[in-house]
Amino acid sequence: MDFAFTEDQLAIKESVAKLCAQFDDKYWLKKDKEGGFPEDFYKAMAEAGWLGIAMPEEYGGSGLGITEAALLMQTVAESGAALQGASAIHLNIFGPNPIVVFGTEEQKKRILPDIIKGKVKGCFAVTEPDAGLNTTALETKAERDGNGYVVHGKKTWTTTAQVADKMLLIARTAPKEKCKRPTDGLSLFYTDFDRSKIEVREIEKMGRKAIDTNQVFIDGLKVPLEDRIGEEGKGFHYLLHGLNPERVLIAAEAIGIGKAALARATQYAKERIVFGRPIGKNQAIQHPLAESWMALEAANLMAFKAAWLYDNGKECGAEANSAKYLGARAAYDACERAILTHGGYGYAKEFHVERFLREVMIARIAPVSEQLILCYVAERVLGLPKSY
């Protein structure tokens, strides 16, 4: 049993940290205030080859695993970029997974190189206003029309739709009542984001302003047959294949934010003098920060255990879900404690920790709720009856 990263993995962390250092706290504070996709950061990551870290080498990727991808994403978040930086490249890192696994050779050659080079930006059109986490209740329809489909429907919480060229879309190609199982009849597409048939409305939100989140309304979008990934009606099962890697990446990103907040709180506690002594001398300050270090390290072990299991072809559902739950919780606590350590200054934007707290909330909410993770572990690990 070896918990150490290899020299190559540590080199990834070092190289990514150096690149991220070019985009300092002032850069991300400005993005947090003004918004606007971090195009220069995205371009720098693409030019350095990081967008294809987990993609096959024959299409221009590095052919590495989710372990290396998680290390990359955690380093980005820990740099102070938090989720504004991580979410700018998140879809490139994990989004193409269904294409890699279930796409044809022609699709891989046509689609993957541009994603890896950062030539196209994509969005993930899955969630709908009336479906939420119940993916089987999706109502967006893709109806056959000659040698292709016509899509009508609406999506919500669609990230980067303002800047997207492409979208990974799941839509119903067969009515649920005609399917043996509710998970049947959904198909997956990777297609052009044709704005003449798609209306995008941005959702104002509490954090991660640089990365837009939207409602998307699709009316008569034509999708050629060659843009369907895999077989018709099996899109839900293709999506499931990518859920565990995404949970690992979200966990790693959250933990990175927690580490960033903890580092700033610790430094402040060393420097802030009250009543003639640094506040870090007081156990009321020390103990919560020490507890957060332990919680973050424990969550990190679970995250990279899940990554190792996935990379070695082993079942990792319980570990990936648990890592997402534990990582988000530990990071949230660390961010809250960082604000409280700073006192009134923690409420000021110039110290950044309030930004971390606003952004880390996303990891607690998405892409799956804490309650459903608890249900999953209760049912799949403990063998308790299904509760919903």
Looking at residue 358, its pLDDT comes to 98
The mean pLDDT value for 46-63 works out to 96
> What is the per-residue pLDDT across 295-320, written as a single tens digit (0 to 9) for each?
999 999 999 999 999 999 999 999 99
241 pLDDT tier (thresholds 50, 70, 90): confident
- Span 122-233: which CATH code? 2.40.110.10
Q: Where in the chain are the domains?
A: 7-117, 122-233, 239-381
Highest CATH level, class, for 7-117: mainly alpha
Query: Does the pLDDT at position 107 exceed 90?
Result: yes
Q: Are strands 213-224 and 228-229 parallel, antiparallel or unpaired?
A: unpaired
Q: Taking residues 92-102, what's their average pLDDT?
A: 91
Lowest mean pLDDT among 174-183, 329-338, 374-383: 174-183
Q: List, for residues 247-277, the tens digit of each pLDDT value.
A: 999 999 999 999 999 999 999 999 999 999 9
HEC per residue, the chain: CCCCCCHHHHHHHHHHHHHHCCCCHHHHHHHHHHCCCCHHHHHHHHHCCHHHCCCCHHHCCCCCCHHHHHHHHHHHHHHHHHHHHHHHHHHHHHCCHHHHHHCCHHHHHHHHHHHHHCCCCEEEECCCCCCCCCHHHCCCEEEECCCEEEEEEEEEEEECCCCCCEEEEEEECCCHHHCCCCCCCEEEEEEECCCCCEEEEECCCCCCCCCCEEEEEEEEEEEEHHHEECCCCEHHHHHHHCHHHHHHHHHHHHHHHHHHHHHHHHHHHHHCEECCEEHHHCHHHHHHHHHHHHHHHHHHHHHHHHHHHHHCCCCCHHHHHHHHHHHHHHHHHHHHHHHHHHHHHHHCHHHCHHHHHHHHHHHHHCCCCHHHHHHHHHHHHCCCCCCC
Q: Would you state the structure tokens that stand for residue 21, as one six-digit string?
A: 């250092």
Average pLDDT, whole number, for the chain?
Answer: 96
- CATH topology for the 239-381 domain: Butyryl-CoA Dehydrogenase, subunit A; domain 3 (1.20.140)
Report pTM: 0.96
Query: What pLDDT is recorded for position 242?
Result: 87
CB 302 within 8 A of CB 326: yes
Q: How many residues does the chain have?
A: 388
